[in-house]
Structure 1
């Protein structure tokens, strides 16, 4: 039995470039949109190695299908294996680092 294809989708969202993986990409029934479904995330339990992965998993939790405007899709690649997910600054291309939660700063006394 052949395995379903895996796609790397790069798209622009709110001034950032998102890189996600999905099993299904197609033209949407909504005119001018690209349909992305069956998002692929690392499902291993335990220590979180990549906070970006957790942020994206939380952001897209419960999402069955993304309908992305065609003009926001930068690239769709069929890949052999899943790589690291990323959120990049659209202007510089540098990876946006998701900081770990910090306790609130106490005002000086």
Structure 2
């Protein structure tokens, strides 16, 4: 039997984050929602999603994430994992750090 999977959409620092987790519930901290067992794609090939890498760097070592209830946009129970994302809160466009090209000035 497959474990339940949730897609959590929340505001953080002017951006909208979309993460996947196996466990969501009420936190022991009043006014917070507890998100645990975060799920990230494991890429072992040449193609790496920079957004997924950025999220793994930021939240990879997190045991439990306590999100303020007012920052949560939506929690969905989903059948399979989609792409995690970081979006601009005003435009809704994905925020992706472009891959630096050789010889291109910064």
SS at match of 2:66: strand
TM-score, structure 2 length as denominator?
0.91
Report the counterpart of residue 105 of structure 1 in structure 2.
105
State the shift of 1:50 in Å.
1.1
State the shift of 1:66 in Å.
0.2
Report the counterpart of residue 59 of structure 2 in structure 1.
60
Gap runs ≥5 in structure 2: none
State the shift of 1:44 in Å.
3.1
Distance 1:96 1:39, change over 3 A: same
4+ residue segments displaced more than 3 Å: 101-106
In the alignment, the residues of structure 2 paired with residue 11 and residue 61 of structure 1 have an alpha-carbon distance, to the nearest angstrom, of: 17
Number of aligned positions between the proteins: 105
Gap runs ≥5 in structure 1: none
Q: Report the structure number with the largest CA radius of gyration.
A: 1
TM-score, structure 1 length as denominator?
0.89
Report the counterpart of residue 19 of structure 1 in structure 2.
18
In the alignment, the residues of structure 2 paired with residue 76 and residue 3 of structure 1 have an alpha-carbon distance, to the nearest angstrom, of: 19
In the alignment, the residues of structure 2 paired with residue 105 and residue 94 of structure 1 have an alpha-carbon distance, to the nearest angstrom, of: 25
